[in-house]
Structure 1
Amino acid sequence: MKNFYHFSLSGVAFFINKDPQYCKELARSLKANVVYGDASDPQILEDAGGYKTDILVALTPKDHDNLFICKMAQKYFNVERTTALVNNPDNECLFKKIGITSIFNTTQLLSSLIEQHVAVEDISNLITLEDGKLSVAQIIIPENAPSVGKTVKELDLPLSIVLGGIIRNGDIVIPRGGTIIKPGDKVLVISLPQDQAKAVKALGGEE
């Protein structure tokens, strides 16, 4: 799962990433401004236009990075709306306490689906974030899917896709690069709305 940070300036999307090759690929794939650098550096955020940003979203597998980025955006650039991905549910109270305006807790959402015995066959779009700028969907992996047997890093996923979690036999798996996709997995996908169909095709083999 790639680390990236997204922010919106008057309806224009910007992405910051510290992997130069990933930035090149992202720039080719998205109609958005892509900035190479570490978003934890105030100078990078400022150069990218952070001082006049409307919304900032931090989506990385490391909670402390997401927390730091959001807090810095609030402190240095007065960004009013910040959203952070929380991978460890124990950290949610801390995120709320220091004023992160929106929190997406993947583990909590997956647990809720299990506890409520949700009929996942009927689920496509679960929720949207930041006025529809990010969508969260669940994809069930069929036995003959092209993703079966592949690791997450081997998947041909759009570069704006984040796999937030997997429900597997009633258990929750937080996907890493080496996690192998198995038939019956219920994969939680965070994506730009326009890339959701591509994620469904790459994971499930259908659009």
Structure 2
Amino acid sequence: MNVLIAGAGRLGTQIAQVLSAARNDVVLMDNDDDRLAALQGRVPARLVSGDACDPALLEHSGALTADLVVAATGDDEDNLVISLLAKRHFSVPRVAARVNDSDNAWLFDERWGVDVAVPAATPLISLIEEATGATDTVALLRLSKAGVEVFETVITERSRTKGRALGEVALPDGTVVATIVRDGQPTAPDPAERLRPGDELLLVSHTAAEHEIHAAFQ
């Protein structure tokens, strides 16, 4: 699948990493050159600098052959313009757009070319399922070469593992924590690290099912 992602912030970057791992051809766009420079070598996607609201740049970045466009900038106006261009000008089959301000949610529909409107607080896996139309997270994120699957879980105020050390959590067999994303930054999974509300954990496993991962932490 050819994927074009506008916005290389935390959300856009995570989407690019996961969809690239699932063997999709991903282009990640942003108008912040410093942000893109920091991502060089860290994200297995083609990085393009510029304003994604520019039709010429969208075409240069692959909009004509894109199967999916994700408008994931931090500006709702930009996301709407990108979505409209993707759908009306480039006839992209599927367009997903991030809704930053809930008051603007009513705008994010087919009139603006949006197939899937996703609130900013939506977990990464759910967003990708919605954006791609996939209902099977495991199938989408299977890493066929390594024979493992990728899962995400988020620690909340209600999670029973809140405040517990990572090493105290009994994981399903064949499962390891790949990283903890805290305040937008990935950190090494130190067993002594105490889990906090808002922590996003990415795990890999070759045996566990999604409900087992959820049960271990929630």
Sort the TM-score into its range (normalised by shorter chain). 0.5 to 0.7
**RMSD (CA atoms):** 4.3
2:155 alignment counterpart:
140
After superposition, residues 87-166 of structure 1 pair within 5 angstroms as 87-98=100-111, 99-106=113-120, 128-129=129-130, 130=132, 131=134, 137-140=152-155, 142-143=162-163, 152=183, 155-156=185-186
Q: Does 1:185 align with 2:197?
A: yes
1:118 alignment counterpart:
none
Deviations 1:61-102 (A, max 9, x none): 222121111111122211121000112223222111513111
Q: Does 1:84 align with 2:97?
A: yes
Shift of 1:31: 1.9
> Is there any run of 5+ residues in structure 2 with no aligned partner, and where?
1-7, 142-149, 157-161, 167-181, 188-194, 205-218
Cα distance in structure 1, aligned partners of 2:164 and 2:28: 34
2:202 alignment counterpart:
196
2:9 alignment counterpart:
2
> Is there any run of 5+ residues in structure 1 with no aligned partner, and where?
111-123, 158-182, 190-194, 199-207
Deviations 1:150-178 (A, max 9, x none): x836x346xxxxxxxxxxxxxxxxxxxxx
- Gap change, CA 1:75 and 1:145, over 3 Å in 2: farther
Cα distance in structure 2, aligned partners of 1:37 and 1:145: 42
Answer 1 or 2: which has greater strand percent: 1
1:73 alignment counterpart:
86
1:39 alignment counterpart:
52
Cα distance in structure 1, aligned partners of 2:116 and 2:125: 19
Shift of 1:197: 3.9
> Identical aligned pairs, as a percentage?
24
SS in structure 1 of the partner of residue 52 of structure 2: coil
1:23 alignment counterpart:
36
